[in-house]
A and B are shown apart, each in its own frame.
Chain A
Amino acid sequence: MPTLTYPNLGKPVIPWKPQDLFIYGNDGYWPDGENPADGRLFQDVAATIPGTTFGQPVGLAQRLAGTANLQQATAAARPTTAREPKGGRRNLLAQSLTQNNIGHGTATAVDDGPLSVEYSWNAGSTDIFSSVGVLWPAADVLNQRVVLSCYVKPGDNQYIYISSNSFGTQSNVGVKGRFDKITGAYTPLFSQNATYHASGIDEVSSGVYRVWISVTQPGNVGTKAFSVFCSNEVFTSTSTIILGTAPPASNFRVGSWQVERGDVPTPYQKVTTANDVTETGVPDMWSLRTDGTDDLMASTETFDVNKPWYFAVCAMIESSGGASGYENNLFGLQQGLINRLHLAARSAGTRTLQIYHRSAGGAQVATPLPPGGTFDYAYGVPFIVEGWAAGGGSLHCSINGGLTRAVAYTPGATPVLAPLQLGGGSGIAAAHYYDALAIQRIPSDAERAALRARWAERYLP
């Protein structure tokens, strides 16, 4: 009886890596993410100034595998390094640390855990109710349910007043209410041209509370401030200006401001700048961020577009530039017309993006997007798209479906050469590119599934 042997039994499983796709020397590009710590990003084309942190221009993105690097010689068209928590950005504020709206008081920066601002009443300011707050995000949040939350250390004050607008200024928009830190009760005070949905208060540590309200505002948010005030005085006014008569019983501290879409607050994300968003306990994910006007990266090498190519990219769209008929590119062969992925431009009043590709002579194909074939870019959720073709193709895009600018392309005897391009297009989306892969062959279903699984584990919520 022969003895059966299993030579691999007990050996550790070696994880599949996208660079395994390139073991036969295929053309292509794979950077394995965009973390400056990996040493493959440079601020200049000549690779003399390494990228080291967020908020820096990227002139050269070197590959880990493949045959092409991507670069941008024109300084103004270089993308920027950025980091966000895995799963994407929820806090829509331009910054979440410092007040940029205050009335009749003084705000002092403090470093007190989640609290970054101390409010003190200005002596002699006895006329109106004052507050400290942050301006609403400029992101498109009109007519959407939005949660406003922050941490408050009220000190000797029993009541925490919260508002979707500043308290002491003339306004015809906003929701205002009062929390009692002892009972946890919320008392609505005022709502005009805005809808109150829900509220909550939690004591997160001794004397520190996280308070929130969810509201819908139909307009006029850009210059308004999500604001907080603390007092022992009970105000019952329902006028648009809520008047107070006494200063706070003590200074109070505020911080960890967050404005997000949804019904209830999620864990706080710290926004230092648009290029630096972090969340405690959640890994960073790094990206190249295009600015929505002129940024793109391209290879100096050109490749035969008649050969089979596979493209995949993990990205997140902040906004898409361009009106009807504009093309917002993600990743692919520039003018190569093989499975070049395009974003349909955003039309007024809609927030849906769709991605299409088209092979030569074939019908347009909508690339599925999680969830459900379309997605709302404004939520900042990363997504993975991929496309492939055995040769030839034509791609263009238009508003919300329909490739009205499709350009016919028939593979010919003479090779058509084109560089790889990340970003760009005639509209140019403001987008984060976490990873991208191009290879001049069609991977197997198993290989593509492995790539999607790797990126999903790294980047998706």
Chain B
Amino acid sequence: MSDWIRVTIACPEAMIADANQLASVLGFSAADANTFGEPVWQDAEGNRYAVASTLAKPAFVTDAMSPLLEPPWGADMEAAARAQEWLAVFDPATDSAPFANPVHLAAVLYADAPEALAILGVTPVASE
């Protein structure tokens, strides 16, 4: 059996750079600073988000809320700390959706990524 859980995160457009530093600190390599890409998702109010969905170890929630340690590959720890303050992990079983909002890095633990996006309340921005 796999011991991974799925975490899907909606990152407000203004937080992408900081959130990528947090991803690098919590991740496995410097490449994890590329976790959040373009803000091509939006909520009902039109706020833009970058979305990442990943398998993570069950300790992710604890680790993400713990004091951050700079990884061997380096990271902007001040940016990572700012992103950590914005991080909010929601439980679809007990919290009320939608969770994406402009002042949080909204994370949900849900096995299926497309359903997690619906729970977050984001949809793709129409391509131009």
Contacts and interface: CB of A to CB of B under 8 A. Distances in A.
Contact of B51 (A44, A275, A294): A294
Interface residues of A, number: 36
Interface string B11-36: 00000000000010001110110110
B23 A76 contact: yes
B50 to A, nearest CB: 9
Given A55-B4, A322-B124, 16 more contacts: A44-B28, A75-B27, A75-B35, A76-B32, A76-B52, A78-B54, A78-B55, A138-B115, A138-B118, A274-B111, A291-B114, A292-B113, A293-B53, A318-B114, A323-B123, A426-B127
Looking at A76, A273, A275, A324, the one whose CB has the most chain B CB atoms below 10 A away is A76
Query: Binding site of A, secondary structure by majority: helix, strand, loop or mixed?
Result: loop
A275 B2 contact: yes
B52 A294 contact: yes
Interface residues of B, number: 33
Interface of B: 1-2, 4, 6, 8, 23, 27-29, 31-32, 34-35, 37, 40, 51-55, 111-115, 117-118, 123-128
A94 B31 contact: no
A326 B124 contact: yes
A44 to B, nearest CB: 7
6 contacts: A74-B32, A74-B34, A77-B52, A275-B2, A295-B53, A323-B127
* Top 5 A-B residue pairs of the complex, sorted by shortest distance between their CB atoms: A55-B2, A325-B127, A73-B31, A76-B54, A291-B113
Looking at A78, A138, A294, A430, the one whose CB has the most chain B CB atoms below 10 A away is A294
Contacts of A318: 114
Interface of A: 44-45, 53-57, 73-78, 80, 94, 138, 273-275, 291-295, 318-319, 321-326, 405, 426-427, 430
Contacts of A78: 54-55
Query: Binding site of B, secondary structure by majority: helix, strand, loop or mixed?
Result: mixed
B2 A319 contact: no
A436 B114 CA distance: 24
Contacts of A44: 28
B52 A73 contact: no
Given A76-B35, A294-B51, A321 B27 contact: no
A318 B114 CA distance: 9
Contacts of A54: 2
Contacts of B27: 75-76
